[in-house]
Amino acid sequence: MADTAAPSPSDAGALAQRFVQFALEAGVLRFGEFKTKAGRLSPYFFNAGLFNDGAKLGRLAAFYADAILASGITFDMIFGPAYKGIPLATAVAVELARRGHNTPFAFNRKEAKDHGEGGSLVGAPLQGRVLIIDDVMSAGTAARESIALIRGAGATPHAMAIALDRQEMATEVAPDGTVLDVPYSAVQYVQRELGLAVCAIAKLDDLLQYLQHRDDPAMQAHRERVQAYRARYGVA
């Protein structure tokens, strides 16, 4: 794919605000008390698995395509890590082709197939610069697995596109098994340590901005809880 012009801050912000509203209307973004993989009690939860019909998935793919094309990221093919990344990568490939950017895609199986074509990869051969598409990143584990798989196939892991950047501290497991907060997010880890560009449709800051402009008292209460969580676990 050729380079595209970078979006203006206002364009990117408007896209993020529309996406937050869509995620709320679809019931994918919810407020309450949810325990994360890191053991934190989060006042919000984003479950991309609830984009679970054709209309929602098609609209989600359009948001991904908008963000990817606006980011200026160049790539030769798309990869979707099992499992949530599989329908995401497939839908985004279809949407990009609809817009004139026909791009090969592939995904992996969790367990290698020992019959038929065999192996753990399905779709186009992994080659060139690969864009990984997933929903969110928590600890960066899935990203590392995808990167190892792509490199093992002789291709170059080049960038990632995700729906939501939670902008919160990642965790590491100490030698004694203790889970420790670290002063960087999973997205920052992937960018700085693994060398991949990351494109997110929206960030936690966008969610807070959305809540800030709602007159509904319930939304204001959610904003206060999300803001407190951001103050405790957030990264710049």
Positions marked catalytic:
113, 115
Whether the Cβ atoms of residue 202 and residue 164 lie closer than 8 Å to each other: yes
Whether the Cβ atoms of residue 205 and residue 20 lie closer than 8 Å to each other: no
| 143 closest CA partner among 234, 50, 79, 63 | 79
- Alpha-carbon distance 11 to 22, whole Å? 17
132-168 burial code (b ≥16 CB/10 A, e <16): bbbbbbebbebbeebbebbeebebbbbbbbbbbbbbb
Alpha helices in the chain (DSSP H): 9-25, 54-71, 85-98, 141-152, 186-192, 204-212, 217-233
